[in-house]
Amino acid sequence: MSELQEITDLLYGEGVPMPGSKVTEEEALRIVRERFRYPDYCIVRDWIWIDLDVSADQLDALRKTRRQPVIVYAHTVIYDSNRRWDVGDFVRTSPLHAFHDGFMFQTLHTIYILLGDGVRKRAAIETVGRIF
């Protein structure tokens, strides 16, 4: 399969449905501010949970840094507390550190609030690396 086709399938192809939060944007803000005092946060929609295919060495390196071989790609940024992304931008996270309450995806530096339903897919780490 071509590199372009792999990226297209990852971003727009079928996936396994995965529930996100049903709360409003305002409720999501309240929840993240109450639960996490200082981290940056980003509210997103139209998201893809991506399980990464990694080698044993890559998995070991992730575990040593308290991360897991999972990232989220979101087609739509709703709000970013640190203004790194504008409303409507896409975002690709760094690897998962912790997952809270079925809709808060935490990396080492940011909490991503997954609004609405998303999909779950599997991809090679090289394919994900080609998404800017």
Helix or strand (DSSP H, E) at 128: helix 125-129
CB 49 within 8 A of CB 72: yes
pLDDT digits (tens, 9 = 90+) for 80-94: 999 999 999 999 999
Please give the DSSP secondary-structure letter assigned to residue 19: -
Give the residue with greater pLDDT, 37 vs 60: 60
Q: How many domains does the chain have?
A: 1
Nearest alpha-carbon partner for 118 in 41, 52, 44: 44
List pLDDT tens digits, range 104-128.
999 999 999 999 999 999 998 888 8
| DSSP-derived 3-state class of residue 41 | strand
16-18 vs 98-100, strand pairing mode: unpaired
Domain span holding position 67: 3-129
* β-bridge pairing 110-114 and 40-53: parallel
pTM: 0.91
